[in-house]
């Protein structure tokens, strides 16, 4: 499964979940300015409701001035894993509570959480969310075909 197909599946799954739980806001393909002044883009980001005020899109100069609680980055064939790894570490260093780096080429999902070590899962395995995503104790990403 390529990046576009996997991203489409994940958007649908997470949108259905977020609509049912109503506990946050999902953002797709948005840019964020992190505390260290780093600008990062996320394929998927989730912000817990009530934690921070979300400005209206028309009030922003193309990016959100905060770090989301959860991010997903899906590696494309043209992106280097080393650079994406550094970006994921920047997310958690700046306040992201959990990040998933999905690598369709290898079939792995790297989970980044706060100061804990990164965890490695295969696409299709159940990934624990540590209670961060209400109603989703664990998520099984789609298998690659």
The pTM assigned to this predicted structure is 0.87
Distance CA 122, CA 144 (A): 10
The mean-pLDDT minimum among 26-35, 71-80, 90-99, 125-134 falls in 125-134
Q: CB within 8 A of 131, min separation 6: which ones?
A: 137
For domain 3-140, the CATH class is: alpha beta
* pLDDT surpasses 50 at 18: yes
pLDDT digits (tens, 9 = 90+) for 83-135: 999 999 999 999 999 999 999 889 899 999 876 657 888 888 888 888 888 87
Read off the DSSP letter of residue 141: P
Distances (CA, A) of 98 to 12, 58, 93: 20, 28, 11
What is the structure's pLDDT at 114? 75
Torsion angle of the four alpha carbons 4, 10, 16, 20, in this order, in degrees rounded to the nearest 10: -150
How confident is the model over 31-50, as a mean pLDDT?
89
Mean of pLDDT over the chain: 84
Strands (E), the chain: 24-28, 31-33, 39-41, 44-48, 70-74, 98-103, 108-112, 119-122, 126-128, 138-140
Question: Would you call 56 exposed, middle or buried from its count of C-beta atoms within 10 A (0-12, 13-18, 19+)?
Answer: exposed
How large a percentage of the chain has pLDDT more than 70? 84
Q: Is the pLDDT of residue 68 over 90?
A: yes
- CA dist list (Å): 120 to 23, 54, 64, 112, 126: 27, 32, 29, 9, 11
- Per-residue pLDDT at 55: 60
Q: Which residue has the higher pLDDT, 14 or 61?
A: 14
pLDDT at 144: 45
Predicted confidence band of residue 9 (pLDDT cuts 50, 70, 90): confident
């Amino acid at each position: 499964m390529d990046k576009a197909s996997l991203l489409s599946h994940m958007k649908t799954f997470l949108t259905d979940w977020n609509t049912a739980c109503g506990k946050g806001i999902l953002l797709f393909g948005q840019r964020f300015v992190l505390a260290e002044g780093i600008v990062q883009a996320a394929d998927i980001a989730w912000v817990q409701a009530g934690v921070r005020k979300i400005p209206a899109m028309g009030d922003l100069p193309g990016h959100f001035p905060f770090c989301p609680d959860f991010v997903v980055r899906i590696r494309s064939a043209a992106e280097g894993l080393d650079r994406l790894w550094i970006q994921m570490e920047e997310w958690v260093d700046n306040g992201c509570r959990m990040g998933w780096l999905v690598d369709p080429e290898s079939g792995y999902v790297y989970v980044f959480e706060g100061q804990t070590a990164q965890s490695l899962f295969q696409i299709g395995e159940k990934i624990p969310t540590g209670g961060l995503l209400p109603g989703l104790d664990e998520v099984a990403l789609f298998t690659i075909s």
